[in-house]
Amino acid sequence: MLSAFIAPFKHLSPGAAHTEDEDNLSTSSADVKENRNVSNLEARPLPAGDRTRGSAPGAKRKRPLEEGNGGHLCQLQLIWKTLSWSMAPKNALVQLHELRPGLQYRMVSQTGPVHAPVFAVAVEVNGLTFEGTGPTKKKAKMRAAELALRSFVQFPNACQAHLAMGSGPSPCTDFTSDQADFPDTLFKEFEPAAPSAPFPGRRPAEPERLSPACRRGRLLRHTLDLVAPGDRNPVVVLSQLRAGLRYVCLSERPRSFVMAVSVDGRTFEGSGRSKKLAKGQAAQAALQALFDIRLPGHTPSRSKSHLLPQEFADAVSQLVTQKFRELTVGLTPSVHARHRALAGIVMTKGLDVRQAQVVVLSSGTKCISGEYINDQGLVVNDCHAETVARRALLHFLYAQLELHLSQRREDAERSIFVRRKAGGYRLRDNTLFHLYVSTSPCGDARLNSPYEITTDLTSSKHVVRKFRGHLRTKIESGEGTVPVRGPSAVQTWDGILLGEQLVTMSCTDKIARWNVLGLQGALLCHFIEPVYLHSIIVGSVQHTGHLSRVMSHRTEDIGQLPTSYRHNRPLLSGVSSTEARRPGKSSHFSVNWVAGHTDVEILDATTGKRSCGGSSRLCKHMLSARWARLYGKLSTRIPSHGDTPSMYSEAKLGAHTYQSVKQQLFKAFQKAGLGTWVRKPPEQDQFPLAL
Spatial separation of the C-alpha atoms in residues 549 and 555, rounded to whole Å: 9
CA separation for the pair 58, 637 (Å, rounded):
98
DSSP 542-591: --HHHHHHHHTGGGGGG----TT------EEE--SSPPPPPPSPPPSEEE
Adjacency order of strands within the sheet including 589-594: 571-573, 535-538, 431-437, 342-349, 352-363, 589-594, 601-604, 609-610
Selecting among 386, 476, 529, 601, the annotated active-site residue is 386
Under a CB-based contact definition with an 8 Å cutoff, are residues 64 and 52 in contact? no
Tell me how far CA of residue 245 lies from CA of 79, 291, 406, in angstroms. 43, 16, 64
3 state DSSP class of 366: coil
Query: Residue 212 contacts by C-beta under 8 Å, 6 or more apart in sequence?
Result: 166
Exposure pattern of 196-234 as b/e (b: 16+ CB <10 Å)? eeebbeeeeeeeeeeeebbebbbbeeebeeebeeeeebb
User: 296: helix, coil or strand?
Assistant: coil
| DSSP-based three-state secondary structure for 381 | coil
3-state SS record for 115-166:
CCCEEEEEEEECCEEEEEEECCHHHHHHHHHHHHHHHHCCCCCHHHHHHHHC
- For residues 304 and 290, the answer to whether their CB atoms sit within 8 Å is no
φ, ψ of residue 208 to 5 degrees: the values are -70, -15
List the alpha helices (DSSP H) in 171-211: 182-188
Give the C-alpha separation, 159 to 166, whole Å: 10
Q: What is the C-alpha radius of gyration for the chain, rounded to an integer number of angstroms?
A: 33
- Does an H or E element contain 277, and which? helix 275-291
Q: Is 601 noted as a catalytic residue in this protein?
A: no
Half-sphere exposure of 466 (CA within 13 A, CB side): 4
> Taking a C-beta distance cutoff of 8 angstroms, is the pair 400, 357 a contact?
no
Say how far residue 602 (Cα) sits from the centre of its chain: 33
* Closest by CA position to 252, among listed 665, 680, 561, 672: 672
For 389-454, give the secondary structure using H, E and C. Answer: HHHHHHHHHHHHHHHHHCCCHHHHHHCCEEECCCCCEEECCCEEEEEEECCCCCCHHHHCCHHHHH
Angle between helices 507-517 and 656-671 (to 10 degrees): 130
Q: What span, in angstroms and rounded, lies between the C-alpha atoms of 201 and 45?
A: 12
Distance CA(425)–CA(634), nearest Å, equals: 9
Contacts with 220 (C-beta within 8 Å, 6 or more apart), sequence order: 165, 166, 167, 185, 189, 213
Q: Report d(CA 255, CA 76) in Å as an integer.
A: 68
| Nearest residue to 685 via CA among 512, 522, 529 | 522
Amino acid at 141: K
- What DSSP string runs through 238-253? HHHHSTT--EEEEEEE
118-125 vs 247-253, strand pairing mode = unpaired
Q: How far apart are CA 629 and CA 590, in angstroms?
A: 28
Interatomic CA distance for residues 252 and 562, integer angstroms: 31
Catalytic residue positions, numbered: 386
